Amino acid sequence: MSDAAERVAAWRHNKRRKGRLETLAYARRQDCAAYIMDAVEYYATSKGQGKPYPLTPPQFRRLKADLKAELFVELREQDLQATDTHPPAAPLPEGMKQCKHGHPPYPATKKECPTCVRARKRRQRKRKTQATVG
């Protein structure tokens, strides 16, 4: 694998690893705090206690920080195990470019990433309408 392909694969891997807690919370349509509270309640009720522990705000913040740290350690270990079993990402096909923002590859004949172009045009149109209205 070329140096550029290795750097892209490493960048994608780091990007996926950083947002794991937020991704799990988003999948349940919750914010991170609500997701962690659900985990605490599940843990408390799964241990045979009928109701969750009453927590004061400082206890909740400390517990949240501890859980987040433990969760990151677990996810990092899972990530390391997953990277050992998966083959490296394939290099880009001939005549394709990779966007620096992580969008899908696009033909090398194009001057700019089509996804970036669409996003830029949307932002310009939005700014233009806000300027005419406001």
Q: Domain segments of the chain: what residues?
A: 1-91, 93-134
Helices and strands counted in the chain (H then E):
5, 2
pLDDT tens for 84-125 read 555 556 788 889 998 888 888 999 999 999 999 999 999 999
pLDDT tens, residue by residue, 23-74:
777 778 887 777 777 877 777 676 665 565 677 788 888 888 888 888 888 8
- Full-model pTM: 0.34
Confidence of residue 78 (pLDDT cuts 50, 70, 90): confident
pLDDT at residue 127 above 60?
Answer: yes
pLDDT at site 111: 92
Q: Which of 54, 50, 20 is nearest to 37 (CA)?
A: 54
CB 13, CB 83: distance < 8 Å? yes
Distance CA(4)–CA(130), nearest Å, equals: 40
* For residues 15-28, average pLDDT: 71
